[in-house]
């Protein structure tokens, strides 16, 4: 038997129509995906820096490289927006996986700026006293060493620092950039995991109170994994319903406007149970990420336990990304189902607003207080989501941008107030801060007033925008409840101000550390954005308004 | 484009506030003088407004209009009618006296932190309040008004909570606790009022599509903007609730006695004579113009609440042991008169109410500031701690008496004219209401004279015996106020001339005409 005859036993000669040539090379619009690609590339370079650059120069290299990458990615977003990709040229890139449109670009820009400010607070090394002659940041010397053990002491003594946080930050940001622009369910899930996993890790890396930090990370990881599982299950059910993971296709099936129905689809597309349960499970996963009641349980523990720079970044950027994804899911995939999801979202928004505001009153730790405040704010943003109108989209976009800078600034201030045990987060220690450090207290008061939605701050403009959209969308009772919970929320923000300005300082109270220009930039930017968006929000409202249209 | 006079009047104190706050810690006196100069310059601008305003001209004058937040349909629109002009003049007039009276109120007791600058803060906050009050009198855009109506709570809150009387029977710790309680109560009441108004403001936008007072009022008048009856009533209630908290009207008044009691006398004057006027002013400008039908619908209830305020405030004033609390309850009674005048819906009533706002501002300022001088001498707010002061400090006692007589509306002093107008205006439409309201005057005589008798007459108490009389600075504060009280009591025409046309057009908004005098009707 000849060699070729033997070969033919298990192969056939290629016919003229080679099956390989039938698969088209995927068409990737690298230019339009450049913001994400730049950040992913930088994250990978960051890993390489960890591997090859000597320990002494890693910090500088990482910070510099990350900052450059984030700036470049932001520039790419601006260039795309200026080119009209946010409005007229909005389209779906990467074989239907990624939508490049107004909301995507707006949210990506916001996330990148928040990431940049977050990076500044990550890189801060002047707050903690020097350990063995080395400047230290907020992160554990060596994550793997057991808290309190000899190996930890040795790591501190050797001046180790966890510079891995920078690539982790970049990976998280890259996932967040994809999350709100994902245009099919699988991309959505991959993005969810890409940004969640680094965050779980970052939460565990606090230098002080390490056990608490690790506990927070475990809680976050377990509950997060649970939520991810829900999301994935929901994706499977929706796929079973519509026979596709593509947003546009599912929307068509839901609307009943779908063409070329194959027999399998004809079988399943009448099965509303699949659709409703699947949709609900995905939405649940997203509500977990935004911290809406009743999926909020992780928020206070994680916010309190995580290193404060991580908390600040997480509180702002995660919320932006998750609300972006939620908006796209509800507005692009499930608009045909809005009569089903609106009542549910009403209920969630109401209990989120009231629950967050009421529980916050009893808090005695500033980080937990801000956590509950962030829950209440999630409720306000949901009111805008419920509007189901273009104004609803743009008001949510504006609120997210306004809120993230206030949050970053507020948590950056929290890092400054310290005593011997690290950050003094117990509220009683903040008594009389206004006497000792009027400037820091005044800045924090500005952030609190913005959270409370007092006019002339960005918080008011944002709140007005979402409530207006909600009222126009026929949700007037929601506005009234929102207003009432704002009043409740105002109470505990004011309480902190009272404590800072009208209480006598304690003799052994905390000191305010003088930060490096990095944290100062973060706080300064927070104040400027808060006031500018409060006094002259017109430009940014227009921007959000132009960006308020999804591509399908 | 002409010189933006209205903007300048509001911006000048705002800039002054920033400049005052920026004065270095060691130069306290410079900060005081700067604040005083700024307030005088603002007064000059306010007088210019008064002069340039033509009472017989168009309804809103000196108008300015610029696009601000187009996305929300918000415009930066300013304009004044006679009522606003009178109140701006009152605000600008009282400010120099408030600053001068509070000259030493914020001097630091001990040299604490190098960066702690209470004096600068005190005067900067006062100027900030002035700026925000003036712009809320000027705003003809509902959103613009709302922003400053709310924002002025913040500086007021710090003024109440951060600065109080030096002396306190239970020591500084207790004083500080009570102060922050009063400040928080003030803020929460007003913030909740404001937030409910926010819901109504949003509702108004959903119904009307813009925030311009003139446009909406015009559209309502010519029928192009129709509001469902229930919508109009809900929106009216949202607005009115906020203004009734601010004014304050019974039963939303309980923050005022606390706030006035705990703050220093000049700040108490700032609250009751200036900031609270924004509430009653806004009832006239926004409630009546935007929601005429609902205003008429709510009138009976509001009249009853106003009556309760008048009588209840006066009764509680009679029973007070604390001088400042007494003045606070007296003010609640007076605010009842103002609201009564507004909702009597007659031209005498509303002219009287506007005049009442001005006169109440001046008379309360006189009484409260003298009371503040008295309290600072003895270190106690309790009436029972005084006695026989008129023998030791006759000038102080005399000015206190005149302030008190003005409060009880003695003929010949300014408040008499306005109270008379309000009562006449009420009586022509609601005789029974007018009669009950008169009891308020009787009670006013009681609480004022008893206060005077127990503090100023009788045997000289030991603690009072060394009390110095009014100093030059204090005389400079009090004398002009008393001169004004007498002048406006004898010759109120300058104010009524400005106010009357504005009141006429407000009344025509609610489609109300004055009832015919009974004599004429009998013909």
Which 3 state secondary structure label does DSSP give A419? strand
- Determine, for residues A501 and B184 on separate chains, whether the beta-carbon distance falls below 8 Å: no
Q: Which residues of A touch B184 (CB under 8 A)?
A: 494-495, 498
CB atoms closer than 10 angstroms to residue A420: 9
- What's residue B521's pLDDT? 47
- What's residue B113's pLDDT? 46
- What's residue B109's pLDDT? 64
Which 3 state secondary structure label does DSSP give B65? strand
With an 8 Å Cβ cutoff, is B232 touching chain A?
A: no
pLDDT tens digit sequence for B69-79: 777 788 888 88
Rg for chain A, CA atoms, rounded = 25
- For residue B342, CA distances in Å to A179, A389, B299 come to 57, 41, 10
- Determine, for residues A494 and B188 on separate chains, whether the beta-carbon distance falls below 8 Å: yes
Question: Of B185, B188, B45, B32, nearest to B117 (Cα)?
Answer: B32
pLDDT tens digit sequence for A449-485: 999 888 889 999 999 999 989 988 888 889 989 988 9
pLDDT tens digit sequence for B199-217: 898 888 888 878 888 888 8
The C-alpha atoms of residue A21 and residue B503 are separated, in whole angstroms, by 86
Q: What is the pTM of this model?
A: 0.88
The C-alpha atoms of residue B139 and residue B131 are separated, in whole angstroms, by 12
Q: Which residues of A touch B158 (CB under 8 A)?
A: 501
- What's residue A217's pLDDT? 93
With an 8 Å Cβ cutoff, is B487 touching chain A?
A: no
Q: Which residues of B touch A461 (CB under 8 A)?
A: 69
- What's residue B522's pLDDT? 44
Q: Which residues of A touch B115 (CB under 8 A)?
A: 437-439
- For residue A241, CA distances in Å to A229, A286, A341 come to 18, 20, 17
Which 3 state secondary structure label does DSSP give A362? coil
Beta strand spans in A212-298 (E): none
With an 8 Å Cβ cutoff, is B312 touching chain A?
A: no
Q: Which residues of B touch A495 (CB under 8 A)?
A: 184
What is the pairing mode between strands A98-100 and A511-512?
Answer: unpaired
- Determine, for residues A436 and B113 on separate chains, whether the beta-carbon distance falls below 8 Å: yes
Q: Which residues of A touch B112 (CB under 8 A)?
A: 435
Domain ranges of chain B: 5-108+116-518
DSSP secondary structure of A278-340: HHHHHHHHHHHHHT-TTS-THHHHHHHHS-HHHHHHIIIIIHHHHHHHHHHIIIIISGGGHHH
- Provide the terminal-to-terminal Cα distance of chain B, rounded to the nearest Å: 55
Instruction: Give chain A's mean pLDDT.
Output: 88
Q: Which residues of A touch B205 (CB under 8 A)?
A: 468, 471
In this prediction, residues A433-460 reach a mean pLDDT of 88
- Determine, for residues B71 and A541 on separate chains, whether the beta-carbon distance falls below 8 Å: yes
The C-alpha atoms of residue B99 and residue B365 are separated, in whole angstroms, by 12
Inter-chain CB pairs, A–B, below 8 Å: 99
Q: Establish if A1 belongs to a structural domain.
A: no
Q: Is the ipTM of this complex over 0.85?
A: no
A148, A67 in Cβ contact below 8 A? no
With an 8 Å Cβ cutoff, is B110 touching chain A?
A: no
Question: Of A375, A217, A357, A373, nearest to A287 (Cα)?
Answer: A375
How would you class B48 by CB atoms within 10 Å of its CB: exposed for 0-12, middle for 13-18, buried for 19 or more?
middle
- Provide the terminal-to-terminal Cα distance of chain A, rounded to the nearest Å: 59
B342, B350 in Cβ contact below 8 A? yes
Question: Of A148, A305, A293, nearest to A217 (Cα)?
Answer: A305
Which region among A47-61, A136-150, B6-20, B182-196 has the lowest average model confidence (pLDDT)?
Answer: A136-150
Q: Establish if A551 belongs to a structural domain.
A: no
- Determine, for residues B72 and A494 on separate chains, whether the beta-carbon distance falls below 8 Å: no
Using CB atoms, which residue from A438, A456, A472 is nearest to B115? A438
Q: Residue A488 forms beta bridges with which residues?
A: none
User: How many domains, chain A?
Assistant: 1
Calculate how close chain A gets to B69, using CA atoms only, in Å. Answer: 5
With an 8 Å Cβ cutoff, is A325 touching chain B?
A: no
Token output for A145? 């060493």
Calculate how close chain A gets to B203, using CA atoms only, in Å. Answer: 7
- Determine, for residues A504 and B161 on separate chains, whether the beta-carbon distance falls below 8 Å: no
Instruction: Pick out chain B residues at pLDDT < 70.
Output: 1, 109-117, 165-172, 512, 516-523
Question: Of A118, A155, A157, A163, nearest to A137 (Cα)?
Answer: A163
Q: Establish if A286 belongs to a structural domain.
A: yes
- What's residue B523's pLDDT? 41
Q: Establish if A373 belongs to a structural domain.
A: yes
Q: Which candidate in A464, A493, A509, A545 is best for mutational testing of the B interface (most B CBs within 10 A)?
A: A464
pLDDT tens digit sequence for A7-31: 666 666 655 555 566 677 788 888 8
Calculate how close chain B gets to A389, using CA atoms only, in Å. Answer: 14
Using CB atoms, which residue from B173, B195, B202 is nearest to A468? B202
**A-chain residue closest to B68, CA distance:** A538
The C-alpha atoms of residue B72 and residue B211 are separated, in whole angstroms, by 9
Give Dmax (Cα) for chain B.
79
- Determine, for residues B158 and A438 on separate chains, whether the beta-carbon distance falls below 8 Å: no
Q: Which residues of A216-232 are buried (b: 16+ CB within 10 A; e: fewer)?
A: bbebbbebbeebbebbb
With an 8 Å Cβ cutoff, is A465 touching chain B?
A: yes
Whether the predicted pLDDT of A89 surpasses 80: yes
Calculate how close chain A gets to B290, using CA atoms only, in Å. Answer: 19
Q: Which candidate in A383, A398, A443, A455 is best for mutational testing of the B interface (most B CBs within 10 A)?
A: A455
Calculate how close chain A gets to B237, using CA atoms only, in Å. Answer: 13
Q: Establish if A534 belongs to a structural domain.
A: yes
B417, B355 in Cβ contact below 8 A? yes
The C-alpha atoms of residue A265 and residue A243 are separated, in whole angstroms, by 6
Using CB atoms, which residue from B72, B148, B162 is nearest to A502? B162
The C-alpha atoms of residue B340 and residue A484 are separated, in whole angstroms, by 29
- For residue A369, CA distances in Å to A38, A356, A418, A476, B143 come to 36, 9, 17, 28, 31
């Amino acid at each position: 038997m000849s060699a070729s005859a033997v070969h033919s036993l298990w192969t056939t000669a290629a016919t003229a129509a080679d099956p390989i040539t039938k698969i088209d090379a995927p068409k990737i619009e690298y230019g339009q995906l450049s913001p994400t690609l730049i950040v992913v590339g930088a994250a990978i370079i960051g890993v390489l820096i960890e591997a090859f650059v000597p320990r002494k120069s890693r910090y500088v290299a990482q910070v510099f490289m990350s900052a450059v990458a984030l700036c470049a990615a932001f520039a790419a977003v601006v260039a795309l927006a200026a080119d009209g990709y946010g409005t007229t040229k909005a389209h779906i890139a990467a074989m239907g996986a990624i939508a490049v449109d107004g909301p995507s670009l707006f949210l990506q820009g916001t996330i990148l700026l928040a990431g940049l400010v977050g990076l500044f607070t990550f890189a801060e090394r002047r707050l903690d006293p020097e350990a063995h002659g080395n400047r230290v940041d907020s992160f554990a010397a060596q994550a793997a060493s057991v808290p309190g053990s000899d190996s930890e002491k040795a790591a501190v003594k050797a001046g180790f620092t966890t510079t891995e946080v920078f690539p982790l930050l970049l990976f998280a940001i890259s996932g967040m950039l994809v999350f709100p622009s994902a245009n099919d369910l699988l991309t959505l899930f991959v993005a969810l995991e890409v940004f969640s996993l680094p965050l779980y890790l970052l939460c565990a890396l606090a230098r002080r109170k390490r056990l608490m930090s690790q506990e927070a990370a475990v809680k976050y990881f377990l509950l997060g994994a649970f939520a991810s599982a829900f999301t994935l299950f929901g994706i499977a059910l929706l796929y079973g319903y519509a026979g596709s993971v593509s947003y546009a296709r599912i929307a068509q099936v839901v609307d009943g406007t779908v063409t070329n129905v194959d027999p399998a689809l004809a079988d399943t597309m009448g099965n509303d149970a699949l659709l409703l349960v699947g949709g609900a499970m995905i939405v649940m996963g997203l509500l977990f990420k935004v911290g809406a009641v009743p999926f909020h349980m992780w928020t206070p523990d994680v916010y309190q336990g995580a290193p404060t720079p991580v908390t600040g970044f997480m509180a702002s950027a995660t919320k932006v990304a998750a609300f972006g994804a939620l908006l796209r899911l509800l507005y692009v995939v499930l608009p045909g189902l809005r009569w089903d999801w609106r009542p549910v979202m009403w209920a969630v928004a109401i209990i989120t607003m009231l629950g967050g505001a009421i529980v916050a009153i009893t808090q005695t730790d500033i980080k937990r207080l801000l956590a509950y405040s962030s829950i209440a704010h999630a409720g306000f943003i949901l009111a805008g989501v419920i509007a189901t109108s273009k104004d609803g989209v743009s008001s949510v976009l504006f609120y997210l941008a306004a809120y993230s800078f206030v949050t970053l600034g507020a948590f950056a201030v929290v890092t400054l107030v310290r005593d011997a045990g690290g950050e003094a987060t117990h509220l009683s220690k903040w008594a009389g801060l206004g006497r000792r450090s009027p400037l820091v207290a005044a800045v924090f008061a500005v952030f609190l007033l913005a959270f409370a939605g007092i006019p002339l701050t960005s918080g008011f403009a944002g709140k007005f925008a979402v409530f207006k959209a909600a009222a126009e969308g026929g949700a007037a009772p929601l506005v009234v409840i929102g207003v009432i919970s704002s009043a409740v929320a105002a109470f505990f923000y004011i309480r902190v101000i009272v404590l800072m300005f009208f209480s006598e300082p304690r003799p052994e109270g905390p000191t305010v550390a003088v930060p490096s220009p990095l944290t100062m930039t973060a706080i300064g930017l927070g104040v400027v954005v808060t006031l500018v968006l409060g006094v002259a929000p017109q430009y940014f409202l227009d921007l959000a308004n132009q960006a308020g249209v999804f591509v399908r | 484009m002409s010189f933006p006079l209205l903007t300048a009047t509001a911006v000048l104190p705002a800039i002054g506030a920033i400049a005052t706050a920026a004065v270095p810690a060691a130069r306290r006196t410079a900060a005081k003088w700067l604040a005083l100069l700024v307030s005088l310059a603002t007064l000059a601008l306010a007088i210019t407004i008064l002069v340039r305003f033509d009472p017989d001209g168009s309804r809103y004058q000196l108008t300015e209009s610029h696009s601000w937040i187009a996305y929300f349909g918000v415009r930066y629109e300013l304009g004044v009618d006679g009522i606003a002009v009178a109140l701006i003049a009152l605000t600008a007039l009282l400010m120099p006296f408030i600053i001068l009276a509070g000259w030493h109120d914020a001097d630091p007791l001990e040299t604490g932190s190098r960066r702690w600058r209470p004096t600068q803060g005190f005067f900067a906050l006062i100027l900030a309040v002035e700026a925000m009050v003036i712009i809320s009198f000027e705003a003809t855009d509902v959103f613009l008004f709302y922003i400053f109506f709310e924002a002025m709570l913040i500086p007021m809150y710090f003024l109440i909570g951060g600065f109080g009387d030096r002396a306190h029977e239970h020591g500084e710790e207790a004083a500080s606790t009570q102060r922050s309680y009063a400040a928080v109560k003030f803020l929460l009441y007003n913030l909740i009022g404001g937030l409910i108004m926010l819901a109504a403001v949003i509702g108004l936008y959903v119904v009307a599509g813009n925030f311009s007072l003139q446009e909406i009022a015009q559209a309502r008048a010519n029928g192009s903007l129709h509001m469902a009856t229930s919508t109009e009533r809900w929106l009216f209630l949202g607005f009115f609730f906020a203004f009734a908290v601010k004014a304050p009207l019974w039963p939303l008044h309980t923050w005022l006695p606390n706030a006035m009691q705990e703050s220093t006398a000049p700040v108490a004057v700032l609250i009751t004579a200036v900031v609270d006027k924004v509430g009653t002013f806004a009832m006239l400008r926004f409630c009546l113009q935007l929601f005429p039908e609902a205003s008429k619908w709510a009138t009976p209830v509001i009249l009853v609440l106003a009556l309760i305020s008048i009588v209840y405030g006066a009764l509680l004033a009679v029973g007070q042991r604390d001088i400042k609390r007494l003045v606070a309850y007296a003010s609640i009674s007076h605010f009842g008169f103002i609201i009564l005048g507004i909702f009597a819906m007659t031209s005498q009533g509303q002219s009287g109410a506007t005049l009442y706002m001005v006169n109440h501002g001046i008379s309360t300022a006189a009484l409260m500031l003298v009371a503040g001088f008295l309290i600072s001498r003895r270190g106690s707010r309790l009436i029972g701690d005084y006695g026989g002061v008129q023998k030791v400090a006759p000038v102080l006692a005399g000015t206190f008496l005149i302030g008190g007589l003005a409060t009880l509306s003695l003929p010949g002093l300014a408040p008499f004219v306005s109270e008379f107008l309000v009562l006449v205006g009420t009586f022509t439409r609601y005789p029974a209401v007018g009669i009950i309201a008169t009891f308020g005057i009787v009670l006013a005589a009681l609480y004022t004279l008893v206060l005077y008798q127990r503090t100023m007459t009788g045997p000289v108490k030991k603690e009072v015996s060394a009390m110095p009389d009014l100093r030059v600075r204090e005389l400079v504060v009090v004398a002009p106020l008393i001169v004004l009280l007498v002048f406006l009591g004898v010759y109120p025409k300058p104010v009524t001339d400005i106010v009357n046309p504005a009141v006429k057009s407000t009344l025509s908004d609610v489609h109300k005409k004055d009832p015919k005098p009974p004599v004429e009707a009998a013909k």
